[in-house]
Structure 1
Amino acid sequence: MIGTNTTTIVAGGNGNGTALNQLSLAWGGLTLDSLSNVYIPDSGNARVMKWAPGSLSGQVVAGGNGIGNGSNQLSSSIGSIAVDSKFTVFVADTGNYRIQMWPVGASSGITIIPTNTNGMYPLALELDSMGNIYVGGFNIMKYNVATKTATTIVFSYGNSSNQVGTVYGLRFGANNTNLFAVDSSNHRVQRYSVIKNCGGKSCISPFTSSFSAEILNPS
């Protein structure tokens, strides 16, 4: 609880293992849904776990069928995850260079963004209010699910305002007006503004460098 000296374990805490009350190498970016369920990339077990508030064990919502590249599998290197309003789980399956979509109750995933799309190395993942997918890694890419088209919106590799090093986190601010990128290898967090009317599309542009918060090795 914030403001106290005590903490509460909300997932795991029962040692490294494969049981539903355990996690293994859960190093990626977790997320929450509208009901405060916590979704955790459990990389060591090649699965994504969902933990309801107060639960003593979790539920496998993606993967859990061993390490691999099959439709019902994930790699042992899972980056960020995202959950939409229908509780569909999107997984940055880093080790397989793909983005997987797992609807509620699905026994296998759908590769919604395949390998080699715009040089994608999926570490970070975010959704906007229109259902577009933003993927960060060695660049930042926007994927339009409706048209199945990918656009690189921030290029690699460098330290100028239109470049990134290695992006480990992406998050939209209120009303999807700003996109924040954790640019780890450049030791900074970049903020980009979303331009609503950009040739009929939604584009982003960097703020001036004075708006970039310099922090050490963000993750």
Structure 2
Amino acid sequence: MPNILANAKWDQNGVTVAGNGMQGSAANRMNNPGGLYVDDNQTVIIADTINHRIIQWNKGDINGQVVAGGNGKGNGLNLLSRPTDVLIEKETNTLIICDQGNQRVMQWSRRSGTTKGEILIDNIFCNGLVMDDQRYLYVSDMEKHEIKRYKLGDKIGIVAAGGNGKGVGANQFNKAGYLFVDRQQTIYISDEDNDRIMKWNKGAKEGITIAGGQGIGSALKQLFWPNGLIMDALHSKKKVSEKTQKGFPTVLLSETKINALEHVCFGNP
């Protein structure tokens, strides 16, 4: 988790680190980029949703490299359908992919020459996924409005948040989206159609609204379809990205409309 200095000031001008701002399927373009993962070398791995592929951008590269999918839309083991999120599982050096259109979670080796993946979890309308320090995998299910936790390799998980149907209650979601989990296994969830961010402590029966939840809008107390989020581990400051407005800064912001990723930098005030 990033440790952001207390006196850090967010730069108002971003630097493009992937894509060229134009929609397309060429190696230097994306079409509706979704979730992303940044490794220790600042390599950015992105779910290029409408291109049905996972694309990797090494620092400073003009073109990306397809590392999973990219063979058109489909349900074969060499294909993806509208992937929405991705992460790296470091111990096995694999990608774990939320293959939403196929309602499954895939695992794909990062070794050169890999042409297909394997199914980790099926029958789940996944949207976001994250892994904690103990290698438990958390997956959001947009149809069941819940977050499930899986021991890596298990097909059956346990409900870690939600699971009480669609709604606005403290124990419910309306399209659970992207996730973040801290070292205490507290889960932070972008509750997209409720326009709020929820915090769910380990073992809790309901969550706490920590951002938004005041109706859809552009006021500072409101969110508009919140999407990705991270946490500053040092100061527990939420960083939220929204699909239609950028009222809250993020370390890396996936912007749907311009089909590029911006690196939001910070320095001394």
Give me the whole-angstrom Cα distance separating, in 1, the residues matched to 2:51 and 2:170. Answer: 37
In the alignment, is the contact (CA less than 8 A) between 1:46 and 1:63 conserved in 2? Answer: yes
Give me the whole-angstrom Cα distance separating, in 2, the residues matched to 1:3 and 1:132. Answer: 32
Matches within 5 A, 1:91-170: 91-105=97-111, 106-115=114-123, 120-136=124-140, 137=142, 138-153=145-160, 154-155=162-163, 156-170=165-179
Higher percent of residues as helix: 1
User: Residues 115-152 of structure 1, C-alpha deviation per residue, up to 9 Å, x if partnerless?
Assistant: 2xxxx310111111222211112211112224432112
Which residue identity does 1:190 align to in structure 2?
M
Post-superposition offset of 1:7: 2.7
Instruction: Give the equivalent residue in structure 2 for 1:72.
Output: 78
Instruction: Give the equivalent residue in structure 2 for 1:199.
Output: none
Is 1:21 paired with 2:12?
A: no
Provide runs of 4+ in structure 1 moved above 6 Å: none
Which residue identity does 1:122 align to in structure 2?
C
Cα–Cα, structure 1 residues 3 and 145, in superposed 2: closer, same or farther, change >3 Å? closer
Identity of aligned residues (%): 28
Using the TM superposition, name which of 124-133 and 81-90 deviates more: 81-90
> Which of the residues 211, 224, 231 maps onto 1:213?
211
In the alignment, is the contact (CA less than 8 A) between 1:78 and 1:93 conserved in 2? Answer: yes
Matches within 5 A, 1:178-193: 178-193=186-201
Is 1:82 paired with 2:87?
A: yes
In the alignment, is the contact (CA less than 8 A) between 1:97 and 1:114 conserved in 2? Answer: yes
SS at match of 1:135: strand
Cα–Cα, structure 1 residues 126 and 4, in superposed 2: closer, same or farther, change >3 Å? closer
Which residue identity does 1:187 align to in structure 2?
D
Instruction: Give the equivalent residue in structure 1 for 2:218.
Output: none
SS at match of 2:101: helix
In the alignment, is the contact (CA less than 8 A) between 1:33 and 1:84 conserved in 2? Answer: no
Instruction: Give the equivalent residue in structure 2 for 1:49.
Output: 55
RMSD (CA atoms): 2.0
The gaps in structure 2 that reach 5 residues or longer are: 1-8, 213-221, 228-269
The gaps in structure 1 that reach 5 residues or longer are: 195-202
Post-superposition offset of 1:18: 2.3
Instruction: Give the equivalent residue in structure 2 for 1:198.
Output: none
Cα–Cα, structure 1 residues 46 and 204, in superposed 2: closer, same or farther, change >3 Å? same
Post-superposition offset of 1:44: 2.2
Which residue identity does 2:196 align to in structure 1?
R
User: Residues 148-207 of structure 1, C-alpha deviation per residue, up to 9 Å, x if partnerless?
Assistant: 32112221322222221111110013x24421000011121111112xxxxxxxx45545
Cα–Cα, structure 1 residues 6 and 182, in superposed 2: closer, same or farther, change >3 Å? closer
Which residue identity does 1:164 align to in structure 2?
F
In the alignment, is the contact (CA less than 8 A) between 2:190 and 2:197 conserved in 1? Answer: yes
Give me the whole-angstrom Cα distance separating, in 1, the residues matched to 2:179 and 2:28. Answer: 28
Give me the whole-angstrom Cα distance separating, in 2, the residues matched to 1:145 and 1:130. Answer: 10
TM-score, reference length from structure 1 = 0.83
Which residue identity does 1:169 align to in structure 2?
Y
Which residue identity does 1:11 align to in structure 2?
A
Give me the whole-angstrom Cα distance separating, in 2, the residues matched to 1:3 and 1:81. Answer: 26
Give me the whole-angstrom Cα distance separating, in 1, the residues matched to 2:137 and 2:196. Answer: 22
Instruction: Give the equivalent residue in structure 1 for 2:242.
Output: none
Post-superposition offset of 1:212: 2.5
Is 1:9 paired with 2:5?
A: no
SS at match of 1:165: coil
